[in-house]
Amino acid sequence: MTEEKKQDVEIKEEKIPTAAEMDEPIIKTGNPLNMVEELPEEIRKKLEKSKEDRKTNKKKGRKKKTDKRVPVGVAHVKATYNNTIVALTDLSGNVLSWSSAGMAGFKGPKKSTPYAAQIITRIAVEKAKEYGLNEVSVMVKGVGTGRESAIRALNANGLIITSIKDITPIPHNGCRPKKPRRV
Protein backbone atom coordinates (compact mmCIF):
# COMPACT_ATOMS: atom_id res chain seq x y z
CA MET A 1 0.00 0.00 0.00
CA THR A 2 1.06 3.54 -0.57
CA GLU A 3 1.53 6.02 2.25
CA GLU A 4 -1.72 7.91 1.42
CA LYS A 5 -3.88 4.78 1.51
CA LYS A 6 -2.42 3.68 4.84
CA GLN A 7 -3.51 6.95 6.41
CA ASP A 8 -7.10 6.53 5.09
CA VAL A 9 -7.47 3.09 6.62
CA GLU A 10 -7.88 3.22 10.38
CA ILE A 11 -8.08 0.20 12.59
CA LYS A 12 -10.77 0.60 15.21
CA GLU A 13 -10.49 -1.47 18.33
CA GLU A 14 -13.68 -1.83 20.31
CA LYS A 15 -14.14 -3.77 23.47
CA ILE A 16 -16.91 -6.34 23.14
CA PRO A 17 -19.11 -6.20 26.24
CA THR A 18 -19.62 -9.39 28.24
CA ALA A 19 -23.05 -10.72 29.18
CA ALA A 20 -22.74 -9.31 32.70
CA GLU A 21 -21.94 -5.81 31.37
CA MET A 22 -24.86 -5.77 28.98
CA ASP A 23 -28.20 -4.44 30.18
CA GLU A 24 -30.20 -6.67 27.84
CA PRO A 25 -30.38 -10.44 28.18
CA ILE A 26 -28.71 -12.48 25.47
CA ILE A 27 -31.73 -14.74 24.91
CA LYS A 28 -34.54 -12.93 23.16
CA THR A 29 -37.97 -13.59 24.58
CA GLY A 30 -41.30 -13.31 22.83
CA ASN A 31 -43.06 -15.30 20.19
CA PRO A 32 -40.77 -18.19 19.18
CA LEU A 33 -42.40 -18.34 15.74
CA ASN A 34 -41.21 -14.84 14.89
CA MET A 35 -37.66 -15.76 15.84
CA VAL A 36 -37.59 -18.81 13.58
CA GLU A 37 -38.88 -17.10 10.46
CA GLU A 38 -41.58 -14.64 9.46
CA LEU A 39 -44.56 -15.76 7.43
CA PRO A 40 -44.72 -14.39 3.89
CA GLU A 41 -46.30 -10.92 3.75
CA GLU A 42 -49.48 -11.84 1.83
CA ILE A 43 -50.26 -14.82 4.06
CA ARG A 44 -49.65 -12.80 7.24
CA LYS A 45 -52.02 -10.04 6.03
CA LYS A 46 -54.72 -12.58 5.20
CA LEU A 47 -54.41 -14.21 8.64
CA GLU A 48 -54.56 -10.84 10.43
CA LYS A 49 -57.66 -9.90 8.43
CA SER A 50 -59.41 -13.17 9.30
CA LYS A 51 -58.46 -12.72 12.98
CA GLU A 52 -60.06 -9.26 12.99
CA ASP A 53 -63.19 -10.65 11.32
CA ARG A 54 -63.48 -13.32 14.01
CA LYS A 55 -63.27 -10.68 16.75
CA THR A 56 -66.07 -8.60 15.22
CA ASN A 57 -68.32 -11.59 14.50
CA LYS A 58 -68.35 -12.91 18.08
CA LYS A 59 -71.74 -13.09 19.74
CA LYS A 60 -72.26 -10.90 22.78
CA GLY A 61 -74.45 -13.34 24.73
CA ARG A 62 -71.90 -16.14 24.82
CA LYS A 63 -70.36 -17.48 27.98
CA LYS A 64 -66.68 -16.90 28.36
CA LYS A 65 -64.74 -20.06 27.62
CA THR A 66 -62.45 -21.33 30.31
CA ASP A 67 -58.80 -21.40 29.37
CA LYS A 68 -58.02 -24.89 28.16
CA ARG A 69 -54.43 -26.06 28.72
CA VAL A 70 -53.35 -28.98 26.57
CA PRO A 71 -49.62 -29.75 26.90
CA VAL A 72 -49.80 -33.05 24.94
CA GLY A 73 -51.72 -33.60 21.71
CA VAL A 74 -51.87 -35.30 18.33
CA ALA A 75 -50.92 -33.79 14.97
CA HIS A 76 -52.89 -35.18 12.03
CA VAL A 77 -51.23 -34.56 8.65
CA LYS A 78 -53.25 -35.44 5.54
CA ALA A 79 -51.07 -35.13 2.44
CA THR A 80 -52.86 -35.87 -0.82
CA TYR A 81 -51.72 -35.28 -4.39
CA ASN A 82 -53.74 -32.04 -4.52
CA ASN A 83 -53.67 -30.58 -1.00
CA THR A 84 -52.17 -30.80 2.49
CA ILE A 85 -54.19 -30.41 5.70
CA VAL A 86 -52.72 -30.22 9.22
CA ALA A 87 -54.95 -30.56 12.30
CA LEU A 88 -53.70 -30.38 15.89
CA THR A 89 -55.95 -32.09 18.43
CA ASP A 90 -55.93 -33.04 22.09
CA LEU A 91 -55.62 -36.69 23.09
CA SER A 92 -59.39 -37.30 22.88
CA GLY A 93 -59.57 -35.92 19.31
CA ASN A 94 -60.99 -32.43 19.91
CA VAL A 95 -59.47 -30.05 17.34
CA LEU A 96 -57.38 -27.22 18.78
CA SER A 97 -56.31 -25.74 15.45
CA TRP A 98 -56.12 -26.69 11.81
CA SER A 99 -54.88 -25.28 8.56
CA SER A 100 -54.91 -26.17 4.89
CA ALA A 101 -52.96 -24.98 1.88
CA GLY A 102 -56.02 -23.30 0.37
CA MET A 103 -56.67 -21.44 3.61
CA ALA A 104 -53.13 -20.04 3.54
CA GLY A 105 -53.68 -18.61 0.06
CA PHE A 106 -52.08 -21.25 -2.15
CA LYS A 107 -53.97 -22.10 -5.33
CA GLY A 108 -53.83 -24.87 -7.89
CA PRO A 109 -50.75 -27.09 -8.05
CA LYS A 110 -48.92 -25.01 -5.41
CA LYS A 111 -51.22 -26.42 -2.69
CA SER A 112 -49.49 -29.79 -2.67
CA THR A 113 -45.90 -28.50 -2.47
CA PRO A 114 -43.59 -29.05 0.50
CA TYR A 115 -43.31 -25.27 0.96
CA ALA A 116 -47.09 -24.96 1.37
CA ALA A 117 -47.02 -27.79 3.94
CA GLN A 118 -44.33 -25.94 5.89
CA ILE A 119 -46.31 -22.67 5.92
CA ILE A 120 -49.62 -24.24 6.94
CA THR A 121 -47.92 -26.23 9.69
CA ARG A 122 -46.50 -23.00 11.07
CA ILE A 123 -49.98 -21.40 11.01
CA ALA A 124 -51.58 -24.36 12.81
CA VAL A 125 -48.82 -24.50 15.45
CA GLU A 126 -49.12 -20.76 16.09
CA LYS A 127 -52.83 -21.16 16.85
CA ALA A 128 -52.27 -24.26 19.01
CA LYS A 129 -49.57 -22.57 21.11
CA GLU A 130 -52.38 -20.49 22.67
CA TYR A 131 -53.57 -23.71 24.34
CA GLY A 132 -50.11 -24.51 25.69
CA LEU A 133 -49.42 -27.36 23.27
CA ASN A 134 -45.75 -28.38 23.26
CA GLU A 135 -45.63 -32.16 22.67
CA VAL A 136 -47.33 -34.11 19.87
CA SER A 137 -47.48 -37.54 18.34
CA VAL A 138 -47.90 -37.37 14.57
CA MET A 139 -50.39 -39.35 12.46
CA VAL A 140 -49.62 -39.10 8.74
CA LYS A 141 -52.17 -40.06 6.10
CA GLY A 142 -51.68 -39.96 2.34
CA VAL A 143 -48.87 -40.06 -0.18
CA GLY A 144 -48.49 -36.37 -1.09
CA THR A 145 -45.25 -34.42 -1.30
CA GLY A 146 -45.98 -32.36 1.82
CA ARG A 147 -45.95 -35.15 4.39
CA GLU A 148 -42.27 -35.08 5.30
CA SER A 149 -41.90 -31.30 5.26
CA ALA A 150 -44.97 -30.93 7.51
CA ILE A 151 -43.36 -33.20 10.12
CA ARG A 152 -40.09 -31.26 9.90
CA ALA A 153 -41.99 -27.98 10.27
CA LEU A 154 -43.74 -29.27 13.42
CA ASN A 155 -40.32 -29.87 14.95
CA ALA A 156 -38.89 -26.57 13.69
CA ASN A 157 -41.74 -24.57 15.21
CA GLY A 158 -41.06 -25.72 18.74
CA LEU A 159 -43.17 -28.85 19.19
CA ILE A 160 -41.60 -32.01 20.60
CA ILE A 161 -42.47 -35.01 18.43
CA THR A 162 -42.87 -38.19 20.48
CA SER A 163 -43.91 -40.61 17.72
CA ILE A 164 -44.72 -40.73 14.01
CA LYS A 165 -47.31 -43.18 12.72
CA ASP A 166 -48.38 -43.75 9.11
CA ILE A 167 -52.14 -44.37 8.94
CA THR A 168 -52.51 -44.32 5.15
CA PRO A 169 -55.40 -46.62 4.23
CA ILE A 170 -54.23 -49.65 2.23
CA PRO A 171 -56.74 -51.87 0.42
CA HIS A 172 -56.58 -55.62 1.05
CA ASN A 173 -57.56 -56.40 -2.55
CA GLY A 174 -60.66 -54.22 -2.20
CA CYS A 175 -62.49 -53.19 -5.37
CA ARG A 176 -62.78 -55.40 -8.40
CA PRO A 177 -60.50 -54.19 -11.22
CA LYS A 178 -61.76 -53.15 -14.66
CA LYS A 179 -62.04 -55.81 -17.31
CA PRO A 180 -59.00 -56.08 -19.59
CA ARG A 181 -59.15 -53.91 -22.70
CA ARG A 182 -59.37 -55.75 -26.03
CA VAL A 183 -57.38 -54.17 -28.83
Query: Domain residues of the chain, as ranges?
Result: 71-134+152-168
**How confident is the model at residue 36, as a pLDDT?**
36
152 within 8 A of 84, measured Cβ to Cβ: no
The answer to whether 159 and 134 have CB atoms below 8 angstroms apart is yes
pLDDT of residue 183: 86
Q: Which CATH number fits domain 71-134+152-168: 3.40.50.2300, 3.30.70.420, 3.30.420.80, 1.10.10.10?
A: 3.30.420.80
> Region 84-96: what's the mean pLDDT?
96
Are 56 and 119 contacting, i.e. CB atoms less than 8 angstroms apart?
Answer: no
Q: What is the pLDDT of residue 50?
A: 78
pLDDT of residue 43: 82
Report the pLDDT value the prediction gives residue 67, as an integer from 0 to 100: 73
Helix (H, G, I), strand (E, B) or coil at 179: coil
* Cα Rg, the chain, nearest whole Å: 24
